[in-house]
Amino acid sequence: MSSATKLMAGLTLFLVPIIQYGGYFLLTLLFDKRSGYMVNALRQNLFRAGHAHAGVIIILSLVCQILVDASSLPKFFQWMVRVGVPVAAMLLSAGFFFSVLSPTSTGPNRAVNLIYAGSLTLTVSVVTLGIGLLRAR
């Protein structure tokens, strides 16, 4: 395992407590009748999506860190993948949460664009890694 992989995996693991806090936050909303969370289906769905995407993509990010070492990507593209996947997790999650911060939201605000930015970042990162792995055969 390269030192770059150890560095990025170590930094990525610091995001796990933030994701855990997101779960705690959702739990407090469920039990607080004044939060308005249970009467706003859009907010419920986007908050759950934000939490789920964060957790799954952080796990994917850790796997990608190891796979970068096996690829034949130039250094620039290695770092693009190493940084891109965890950044995508943060962008996607932030977009889902920040787009419906108000308990009375009836539609997402402009923060929904973070979801599109995160999705594009994730796509470019994993496709780049896939190409690098196929070239390394």
* Backbone dihedral angles phi then psi of residue 89, each to the nearest 5 degrees: -60, -45
State residue 137's pLDDT score.
82
* 88: confidence class by pLDDT, cuts 50, 70, 90: very high
Nearest 5°: the CA angle 89, 94, 98 is 165
Total number of domains constituting the chain: 1
Q: Which residue has the higher pLDDT, 96 or 36?
A: 96
* 38: confidence class by pLDDT, cuts 50, 70, 90: confident
State residue 114's pLDDT score.
97
Quick count: other Cβ atoms within 10 Å of Cβ 110?
Answer: 9
* 86: confidence class by pLDDT, cuts 50, 70, 90: very high
State residue 50's pLDDT score.
92
Whole domain around residue 56: which residue ranges? 3-135
Q: pLDDT for 119-130, tens place per residue? A: 999 999 999 999
- Angle of helix 3-13 relative to helix 41-70, nearest 10 degrees, comes to 160
* Per-residue pLDDT at 98 exceeds 90: yes
* 35: confidence class by pLDDT, cuts 50, 70, 90: confident
